[in-house]
Structure 1
Amino acid sequence: MRVWGPLTAVCLGTFMLLLDVTIVVVALPDMAKALDASLSDLQWVVDGYALALAALLLAAGAAADVLGRRRVHVAGVVLFAVASLLCGLAPGPGTLVAARAVQGVGAAAMLATTLPLLGAVYQGRRRSAALGVWGAVSGGAAAVGPVLGGLLTAGPGWRWIFLVNLPVSVVAVWLTLKVVPESKGPRGMSVDWAGTVTFAGFAGGTTYAVVRAGEDGWGATATLVSAGLAGLALVCFVLVERRAAHPLLDLALLRRPAFVGAMLGAFAFNAVAFGVTPYLSIWMQTLLGMSPVRAGLTLLPMTVAAMVVAVLVGRLLHGVPARLAIGGGLLLIGAGCCAQSVLDAGSSWTALSPGFVLVGVGTGLVAPTVAGAALAAVPAQRAGMAGGAVSTVRQLGYALGVALFGTVVTSRATGALPREAAHTLAGGGAGALRGAYGEHALRTAFAAGLDAALLTAGAAGLVAGALVLVLVGPERRGREGGTEPVAPSLSEGTAPTRG
């Protein structure tokens, strides 16, 4: 317990927070029915968590360096548990969305401290082993999420996908306080709260604008005002970061093409690979009549392929340049999304399987390498900032992907149905529409929307892959004068994390 207890404690928290990124996907139709939730409500159930996690991750890491990493980690687990209870007891969609955002705050405190805590406890070979286990747990959470979510939703009900966190949180807190030593960062550090607030304003405003565009159109007043405020927040963020003593992000790093390429790859990866998944799950359950368990199991070809390829990347492809792993992986993900855009009124879930496998293979290439590429593209003293930035843009990519592709689904479905009916359909309300429009019309409209979203995602993946191949060039100079990073092993702590 003394040797591997800290690893167990940290991995429990990591498993919970990453599980909650994907576990809600198959429960969305049941949530919509139980809470009378709209499509935008469901989007915010997913995005509220991811946005809070993205907006506060870097600030949580800085706060942990000042206040103590174990203290911040435990506070994060406690907040996560309280928010999980509120999610499980939520009487309506507004309460659920708010509780999910609070969950994301706790998750940010947990995720920001996991690797620093492990780094302070383990050295040498034990550190490599610990980070390898942490990586496997991270990937396993992504794979287990949809299946466990389906089992809980079909069994005791969707509220238990949140309530199950409570006993795990109690064990995690007890174990952390018992076996994990306290550690802090260098003296003189401070938290860039102004940067945190302006970045959160940019991320939240942008996502809200995209969601409103799906509801009211791109020219609507609410959409334009939200987009304008998001742009203003971005300008303020840049101004703040240029003057901050300890900025969230050193803007000088953006002059490094390899770092920009890695950040672009991280953002596009989560947006393209996973942004359409919630709508595929809703389609399978509300129009194909699949149970939550079966809907979760349909994602196994993707998750299994991702885990297998990730292990092979670590063990067999150590010398492959990161530009090829990330760029090539994004090209495969883009191709996989395009391969899935063949749906029509008569399609079943099996039409998605070949594309799922391609997306899984691409995920297995990108996930273990993208963080290492960012770290290798910056000076050693900025490694922590670069790692946090990659995690931040991944979560932001997921949040914006869910919002954007939901807008695409409803916009395309509006060609066959009235706008309000299209939103109801995409939000899991097919049952309420069958009497008015008929099964064939609903299947045609939803399939058309999914095809458009998948093609959009595929095109974005292909473009992002090509840009990464250009930006993360073969002769780029990396950290401490080194050359371009190669695909790292999972033991280097760059494990696949979904969403």
Structure 2
Amino acid sequence: MRKWGPLIAVCLGTFMLLLDVTIVIVALPDMAHALDASLSDLQWVLDGYALALAALLLGIGAAADRLGRRRVHVAGIVLFAVASLACGLASSPMTLVAARGVQGVGAAAMFATTLPLLAGVYQGKDRSVALGLWGAVSGAAAAIGPVVGGLLTEGPGWRWIFFVNLPVSVAAIWLTARTVPESRGARDRRLDWAGTVTFAVFAAAATYGVVRAGSLGWTSASTLATFGIAVLALLGFVVVERRVEHPLLELSLFRKPALVGVMAGALAFNGAAFGVLPYTSVWLQTVLGLSPVQGGLAVLPLAGTAFVVAAVGGKLLHGVQPRLTIGLGLVLIGGGTLGQAVLGAGSSWPALLPGLIVAGIGTGLVTPALAGAALASVPPQRAGMAGGAVNTFRQLGYAFGVAVLGTLVTSGMGETLSSGRSHALAGGGAAGLRAAGVPEDALRAAFASGLNTAAVVAGAVGVVAGAAVLLLVKGERKGAASPVPEALRAPAR
């Protein structure tokens, strides 16, 4: 326990925070029914978590270097547990969305400190073993999330997908306090609070604008005002990062085409691979009539294939340039997602299987190589910043993807249903529409059309991003393809 206790403690937290990205997907229809939630509410249940994680990851990581990484990690677990309890007890969509945002803040504190904590404990061969197991746990969390979510939703109820975090949090806190030593980075480094705030405002305003545009219209005054706030916040972030002594993100690094390509790939990755899945889950359960467990199993081929490919490919593809695995992986993700755009009124879940498997292969190639490619495109002293930026862009891509693709799903239903009915159907309201007299064939045709529209766009994004990586990411330094940025250097005590 003394040797591997820190690894178990850190892996518990990582498993929990990554599980909560996917475990919610199959529970969306039950949440909508229990809380009378709209489509935009469901989008925010997903995006509130991802946005908080993306917006605060870099800032909290920098703060942890000064305050103590173990201290911030434990604080993150405590906050995550309290927010999970609030999610499980939520009586309205607004309460659930707010609690999910707080949950994302706790997740950011855990995720930002995970690798530095492991790097401070393990050296040499033990470090390689620890990081390999940590990577396997990370992949497993995403793979089993839909199935665990289905089992809990169909069993004790959807609220237990949040309650289950409580005993895991207690175990993680106890193990961390007993086995993980404290570590710190450079204490003379000032925190970039202005950069953290402006980036968070940009991400939140941009996502809110896209979500609301689906119901209010892209040219409405409210939508344009929200996008205006996002643009101003982004400009403010750029100004701050150019002037502050210790920026969250050194913008000069983006003069390198290689880093631009990697970040474009990271931004597109999660959105292209996973952005359609929440709406697919709603279709499977509310239109096709699958149970939550069956719905989870139906989308499992993507995550399960990704897990196997990542585990096997890590050995077989050792030494292959990251740009090739990422570029080809994104093209496969795009092709697989395009392959899911084959639905009709009479289609069922097997129609998705080939596309999900192909997208899963691409996901398994991309996931372990992204951080290595980011490292290869920047100087060694900026490795930690590049690795943190990759994780930030991935989560931001998922948040944007869920928001944009949700709008496309409803717009794709427009030929069959009115705008109001499209939003109700995408939000899990098929039963109510049936009761109102809408024919079953019309519901099936509309949802299939909406999913096809979203899958075509997501697939095209994946293919274009893959081509960008292949063209822009060149000339990696030998030995720079390690998938762990800060873990290559033990932090200062």
TM-score normalized by structure 2?
Answer: 0.97
Give runs of aligned pairs for residues 230-379 of structure 1, distance below 5 A: 230-379=230-379
How far off is 1:433 after superposition? 0.3
User: What is the match of residue 56 of structure 1?
Assistant: 56
CA distance in 2, matches of 1:267, 1:484: 25
Letter aligned with residue 40 of structure 1: S
Alpha-carbon distance between aligned partners in 1 of 2:398 and 2:283, rounded to the nearest angstrom: 19
Residue 342 to residue 258, structure 1, CA distance change in 2 (3 Å): same
CA separation in 1, counterparts of 2:312 and 2:456? 29
Partners of 2:172 and 2:24 in 1: how far apart?
22
Distance 1:485 1:342 in 2: 41
SS in 2 for 1:29: helix
* C-alpha displacement of 1:151: 0.2
Equivalent residue number for residue 491 of structure 2: none
Partner of 1:171: 171
Equivalent position of 1:450 in the other structure: 451
Structure 1 CA distance, aligned partners of 2:253 and 2:444? 47
TM-fit CA distance, 1:483: 4.8
> Partners in 2 of 1:288 and 1:59 — Cα distance?
43
Q: 8 Å contact 1:88–1:160 — kept in the other structure? A: yes
The alpha-carbon deviation at position 300 of structure 1 amounts to 2.1
Shift of 1:491: 12
Measure the CA separation in 2 of the matches of 1:18 and 1:38.
Answer: 25
How does 1:177-196 map onto structure 2 within 5 Å?
A: 177-196=177-196
2:339 aligns to what SS in structure 1? helix
**1:497 corresponding residue in structure 2:** none
Question: More displaced, 419-428 or 379-388?
Answer: 379-388
Deviation at 1:191, TM superposition (A): 1.4
Letter matched to residue 173 of structure 1: I
Does the CA-based 8 Å contact 2:119-2:486 persist in structure 1? Answer: no
Partners of 2:225 and 2:484 lie apart in 1 by 44
Q: Supply the distance in 2 between the matched residues of 1:383 and 1:440 (Cα, whole angstroms).
A: 54
Structure 2, unmatched stretches of 5+, are 489-493
Unaligned runs of 5+ in 1: 495-499
User: Structure 1 residue 130 and structure 2 residue 130: aligned?
Assistant: yes
C-alpha displacement of 1:213: 1.1
- Structure 1 CA distance, aligned partners of 2:126 and 2:214? 49
- After the TM superposition, which residues 450-489 of structure 1 pair with which residues of structure 2 at under 5 Å, given as runs? 450-473=451-474, 476=475, 478=476, 482-483=477-478
Identity %: 67
Counterpart for residue 19 of structure 1: 19
Question: Which stretches of structure 1, 4 residues or more, deviate above 2 A after TM superposition?
Answer: 482-486, 488-494
Q: Distance in 2 between matches of 1:129 and 1:221?
A: 55
**Rounded Cα–Cα distance in structure 2 between residues aligned with 1:431 and 1:52:** 33
Q: Per the alignment, in what secondary structure is the counterpart of residue 437 of structure 1?
A: coil
Q: Secondary structure at the match of 1:249?
A: coil
Question: Which residue identity is paired with 2:460?
Answer: A
Amino acid across the alignment from 2:39: L
Paired residue type of 1:411? S
Give the C-alpha shift of residue 222 in structure 1: 1.4
Q: How large is the RMSD of aligned CA atoms in angstroms?
A: 1.5
Paired with 1:55 and 1:173, the residues of 2 have a C-alpha distance of 24
In the other structure, the counterpart of 2:382 is 382
- Work out whether residues 311 and 490 of structure 1, in 8 Å CA contact, stay in contact via their aligned partners in 2: no
Cα deviations by residue, 1:369-428 (Å, 9 ceiling, x for unpaired)? 011100121111111111110000000000000000000000111221111100000000
Structure 2 counterpart of 1:4: 4
TM-fit CA distance, 1:215: 1.1
Q: Residue 322 of structure 1 contacts residue 484 of structure 1 at CA under 8 Å; is this kept in 2?
A: no
Q: Deviations over 1:16-39 (max 9, x none)?
A: 000000000000000000000000
Q: Is the 8 A contact 2:76 2:110 kept in 1?
A: yes
In structure 1, C-alpha distance between the alignment counterparts of 2:11 and 2:199, rounded to whole Å: 28
Distance 2:187 2:216 in 1: 50
Query: In 1, Cα distance between the equivalents of 2:240 and 2:346?
Result: 53
Amino acid at match of 1:195: G
